[in-house]
Structure 1
Amino acid sequence: MPVALALIAAPASAQIQAQPVPDDPDNPLESAERPESGEVTHSATANMAQATRQVSGPNILVIVAHPDDELFFAPVLARAARSGGKVTLAFATSGDAGPGVSELEPGPELAALREDEARCSAYTLGASQALFWQMGDGTLALDARKPDSPMRSLKLRIAELIEEIEPNVVISWGPDGGYGHSDHRAVNAAVTEVVQAMDDGRPDLLYPALPASEDTPSELDGWAKTHPTLITDRLTYEREDLDAMRAAANCYESQFDASARAALPELLHGAVWRGNVFFRLAFSRSN
């Protein structure tokens, strides 16, 4: 379908209306006109004109490298789950290489702790399940051409999972890996290779995007930016979805200290999202 998020929306009952982007950085969710419950906002690539569409049971598959990666678009997951959709989280590694703030040595004990934290996050966001493939943290890009390489195994797992749950939307890191992390980039490559080989029924593949802006906070200096004309989807969230993200961030006590767990949602909400999480569509939508 040609309209962004048509697979998330119900085409027959979709209601399209103008929806301004919240522009008050001090209190965007209070100042902006809120969309009706169950709606998401889409911005077309060419002119960034927005439309509001009724959500009807999105089936979203999130494939990321590590527990906590989902935080960088968490309000959208909470919104989708709250609207009656299904959200599945798949973690390629258990983040067992650390370092984090737990003082645990890299290994099985840290892996088990990180997995428990990811389950906490998944539950808080309303996800239906969290899957752990327990591949080597920091190894996903190694020896990619070998038949027994992590990349070959990762692609096989991704293909099998997509076939099993039949998502209409897949969210994963973009080719930049957020801030260049090799595991993030490897996951992107694997997910992209699988989806691009699918037929016309392939799911929408969305990469989270940080809009290029002169007022990007210094805390995000190392992160890759996306020109606004390349951002295809702006998905709205409400206060309870942001609250769900705050709770999810608090699950990761081994990864972030208390001040960082409190600061991350406020940084992304107040300085970047302001009521909309941004994505770039990897491929044109199939008919």
Structure 2
Amino acid sequence: MKKATHALCFVLLLVFFGQQVCAQGPKVLVITAHPDDETMFPVTLFKITREMKGTVDLALITDGSGGYNGLVASSYYGKNMTDSATGRTYLPLIRKKEMLCSGEVMGIRNFYFFDQIDDFYQMNPEPFLSGERWDMAYCERKLDKILEQGKYDFIFCLVPDAGQHAHHKTASIMALRAAQRAKDSNKPIVLGGRSASKDYSFRFSELEGYAETKILEKAPVFYFDRSYGFGENNKHSYMIVADWVKACHKSQSGDMNAAMHRGDLETFWYFNINGEQNLEKTKTFFEQLKNSGFPTK
């Protein structure tokens, strides 16, 4: 009788763990430059962790010390958040706490802080990629280790278009290059994201001078509509999740105030380095994303 009971327990355990493996959702690594960059696609991350039962980790490249533009936040924190000296002293810790708040909403599992200098607004990524402004050797080693251990299905970064801050461009190029360095058996699909209105006219093909940023022309622009209404009188939508995330970044009161309840779509561009063979996997992912939780169109 004991042997039969033990055998039954063993079978049940196999079934249980088999179900857990089958039920595992996608694994995603987000690579961004600043705390609050994830506000470009927070609902996608929320749905992955909360509704698709996947995992999301976030690699944050800068220390956030250059974000001293919080006029209203000065009253909240009791410090002049528009003063550069004050910002350089207090913002790295403040913005890490804000990032943890944002991550709690989205269900982020692990944070990896690279603490590179958030120096000043500029457009040229080369001083950072060359190692002049950031410790690129350290960053690359750390990213390679994270990718090797994480075995991610996807990397999300920002679309590195010409009009972006140099830090954004650099972080996205770092993400693409890290994926290229990864072993073939462990090579994630890299997507460049940004929020947009439904009537957006933005187009992107590549960042001139950086061949790895070229998109696959035949790939569609993938998206999730976070403004789609559902529930009682259609008064519910996933826009509230984006607002919860933005509200965590109180030190950035000016930027977040302008962004509140805006951006209907979370859009994603598919890079050429992913190859055509991964298009179907990406299409399936976005179909599952739209059908999970409260389905949207």
TM-score for the superposition, normalised by structure 2? 0.64
State the partner residue of 1:80.
Answer: 48
User: Which stretch of the first structure deviates more once superposed, 64-73 or 132-141?
Assistant: 132-141
Structure whose CA Rg is larger: 2
| 8 Å Cα contact 1:212-1:225 kept in structure 2 | no
Q: Does 1:234 align with 2:198?
A: no
Greater helix share, structure number: 2
The verdict on how the C-alpha distance between 1:167 and 1:143 changes in structure 2, with shifts beyond 3 A counting, is: closer
User: How high is the sequence identity, in percent, across the aligned residues?
Assistant: 22
State the partner residue of 1:92.
Answer: 61
State the partner residue of 2:213.
Answer: none
State the partner residue of 2:116.
Answer: 135
Q: Does 1:254 align with 2:239?
A: no
Q: How does 1:150-229 map to 2 (within 5 A)?
A: 150-176=135-161, 179-201=163-185, 202-209=187-194, 215-216=199-200, 225-226=203-204
Aligned residues: 218
The verdict on how the C-alpha distance between 1:135 and 1:190 changes in structure 2, with shifts beyond 3 A counting, is: same
Give how far 1:113 is off: 0.3
Distance, in Å, in 1 between the alignment partners of 2:128 and 2:243 is 38
Give how far 1:198 is off: 2.8
Distance, in Å, in 2 between the alignment partners of 1:170 and 1:55 is 21
- Flag structure 1 segments of 5+ consecutive residues without an equivalent: 1-53, 218-223
Q: Does 1:70 align with 2:38?
A: yes
The verdict on how the C-alpha distance between 1:146 and 1:280 changes in structure 2, with shifts beyond 3 A counting, is: closer
- Flag structure 2 segments of 5+ consecutive residues without an equivalent: 1-21, 75-79, 206-216, 229-235, 279-297
Which amino acid counterpart does residue 60 of structure 1 have in structure 2? V
SS at match of 1:113: helix
Distance, in Å, in 1 between the alignment partners of 2:108 and 2:129 is 31
State the partner residue of 2:268.
Answer: 279
State the partner residue of 1:264.
Answer: 259
The one-character-per-residue Cα deviations of 1:182-232 (angstroms, maximum 9, x if unpaired) are 01111111111111233433111000156798x449xxxxxx633897544
State the partner residue of 1:38.
Answer: none
The verdict on how the C-alpha distance between 1:229 and 1:263 changes in structure 2, with shifts beyond 3 A counting, is: farther
Give how far 1:56 is off: 4.8
| 8 Å Cα contact 1:141-1:150 kept in structure 2 | no
| 8 Å Cα contact 1:231-1:278 kept in structure 2 | no
Give how far 1:145 is off: 3.7
| 8 Å Cα contact 1:142-1:150 kept in structure 2 | no
Distance, in Å, in 2 between the alignment partners of 1:256 and 1:100 is 7
| 8 Å Cα contact 1:87-1:129 kept in structure 2 | yes
Displacement over 3 Å in runs of 4+? 138-141, 143-149, 209-213, 224-232, 235-241, 260-263
| 8 Å Cα contact 1:209-1:225 kept in structure 2 | no
Which amino acid counterpart does residue 252 of structure 1 have in structure 2? H
Distance, in Å, in 2 between the alignment partners of 1:230 and 1:209 is 16
| 8 Å Cα contact 2:65-2:119 kept in structure 1 | no
